[in-house]
Amino acid sequence: MKHLFLMRVVTKVILLAIAIASVCLIANPVPGTQLEIPSTSLRSLASQQGFLIGSAVGDKILEKDWQYREVLAREFNSLTTENEVKFIIVHPERDRYDFTRPDALVKFAQDHNMTMRGHTIVWFHSLPRWLTENQFTRDEMKEILRDHIQTLVGHYRGQVQHWDVVNEPLGSDGSLRDNLWMRAIGPEYIDLAFRWAHEADPDAKLYLSEYGEGLNSKADSLYLLAKELKERGVSIDGVGFQTHIGFLSANDPKEVAENMKRFNEIGLEIVITEMDVPVTQFSGTLEEKLAQQADIYRYFLRICLEAPNCNTLNMWGFTDRYTWLKSFLGTVKDPLIFDFNYRPKRAYYAMTEELKSHLNKSN
pTM as predicted:
0.89
Most confident stretch, 3-12, 152-161, 322-331? 152-161
Share of the chain above pLDDT 90, in %: 82
Distinct helix (H) and strand (E) counts, the chain: 15, 8
Instruction: Please tell me the predicted confidence (pLDDT) of residue 2.
Output: 39
Which residues have C-beta within 8 Å of that of residue 169, sequence separation ≥ 6?
176, 177, 190, 208, 210, 225
Instruction: Please tell me the predicted confidence (pLDDT) of residue 210.
Output: 97
Please identify every residue annotated as catalytic: 168, 274
Most confident stretch, 246-260, 286-300, 314-328? 286-300
pLDDT in tens, 51-98: 999 999 999 999 999 999 999 999 999 999 999 999 999 999 999 999
User: Residue 9 — pLDDT band, cuts 50, 70, 90?
Assistant: very low
pLDDT in tens, 180-235: 999 999 999 999 999 999 999 999 999 999 998 888 999 999 999 999 999 999 99
Q: How far is residue 332's CA from residue 330's CA, in Å, rounded to a whole number?
A: 7
Q: How far is residue 250's CA from residue 256's CA, in Å, rounded to a whole number?
A: 9
Q: How far is residue 257's CA from residue 254's CA, in Å, rounded to a whole number?
A: 5
Phi, psi of 299 (to 5 degrees): -70, -40
Q: How far is CA 325 from CA 227, 278, 320, in A?
A: 32, 9, 10
Mean pLDDT of 270-292: 96
Q: How far is residue 90's CA from residue 181's CA, in Å, rounded to a whole number?
A: 18
Instruction: Please tell me the predicted confidence (pLDDT) of residue 30.
Output: 40
Going by C-alpha positions, the residue among 110, 60, 105, 45 that lies closest to residue 81 is: 105
Instruction: Please tell me the predicted confidence (pLDDT) of residue 35.
Output: 66
Going by C-alpha positions, the residue among 137, 50, 151, 94 that lies closest to residue 362 is: 50
Kindly list the structural domains of the chain, giving each domain's residue range(s) and its CATH number in brackets, ordered by start. Answer: 41-362 (3.20.20.80)
